[in-house]
Amino acid sequence: MLAVVAALALVLYACSGSGSKKNQPAGDGKSSSPAASSSSTPTAGGGSSSAGANGGASGGASSSAGAPAGGASGSTSLPGGVNGGVVGTTGGASGAGPGGSTSGPGCQLSVSLTSQESAYANGVNPQFTVAVVNKGTSDCDVDVSPKSLVLNVYSGLDHVWSSADCATGGKDLRGIAPGAVQTVTYTWNRTRSSAGCAPGGSPAALGTYYGVVSLGAGSGPNAPAAQSQPKTFELKTGS
């Protein structure tokens, strides 16, 4: 009888032990499965959120890195332009300052022509005044002889007369200071001229003419070429 009871007890103990072993893994699986699923879902969601945050951060970082880089290069170009302006200003300042005549404007000549009258009657020879102005910052060396500072008279396309055709004598060199003016007068004898001043030039017909003065370039940077605007005048009958 005691042996039977002991056997039953062993059977009951074995059944209860295996049942508890069954329940525990199920419980562990249940508890670990939600944990895994719970940890996995948030992690994925968090991961994606975190990845999104990181993406945003890295996007922000690259965006902020791009902004400074772009800004840096932008700021580089801006100061470059500003510096360029400063260099230009400095160049202008050095040109305007002492010794600026070496790299500055130097000798700048302007030539203008005026006629004493707008119309000349029979027997009156047209007279002209040529003004040579130095608009630069250093002296000009100008040859104002009729062969270098040449007055040409035209009727349309017809070249009627030139001061260089019958000019005699050598150079007439004059220094013109900055802002100074040299004037030279010319008189036209109303006859046609040709190179070499051939004698017996025919008288100019009545009508409208225009004169232009050209200054030939000399030797050196202080003797540039220049030309005036045309000046119209008339040869007419009567007074």
Do residues 115 and 61 both lie within one domain?
no
Give the pLDDT of residue 10: 55
Do residues 88 and 149 both lie within one domain?
no
- Counting as low any pLDDT under 70, the low residues of the chain are 1-105, 239
Do residues 86 and 161 both lie within one domain?
no
Do residues 190 and 224 both lie within one domain?
yes
Give the pLDDT of residue 102: 31
Give the pLDDT of residue 55: 38
Do residues 39 and 118 both lie within one domain?
no
Domain boundary among 78, 104, 130: 104
Domain hosting 47: range is: 1-104
Do residues 123 and 193 both lie within one domain?
yes
pLDDT in tens, 22-46: 444 444 444 333 333 333 333 333 3
Do residues 175 and 153 both lie within one domain?
yes
Asked if residues 161 and 188 have their Cβ atoms less than 8 Å apart, the reply is yes
Beta pairing class for 181-187 and 140-143: unpaired
Do residues 114 and 221 both lie within one domain?
yes
Do residues 199 and 140 both lie within one domain?
yes
Domain boundary among 104, 133, 168: 104
Do residues 84 and 172 both lie within one domain?
no
Do residues 113 and 231 both lie within one domain?
yes
- Total count of domains within the chain: 2
Report residue 232 CA to chain centroid gap. Answer: 39
Residue 160: other Cβ atoms inside 10 A: 21
CA dihedral 97, 102, 104, 106 (to 10 degrees): 110
Give the pLDDT of residue 201: 85
Distance CA 169, CA 173 (A): 12
Distance CA 52, CA 44 (A): 11
Total-model pTM: 0.56
Domain boundary among 82, 104, 126: 104
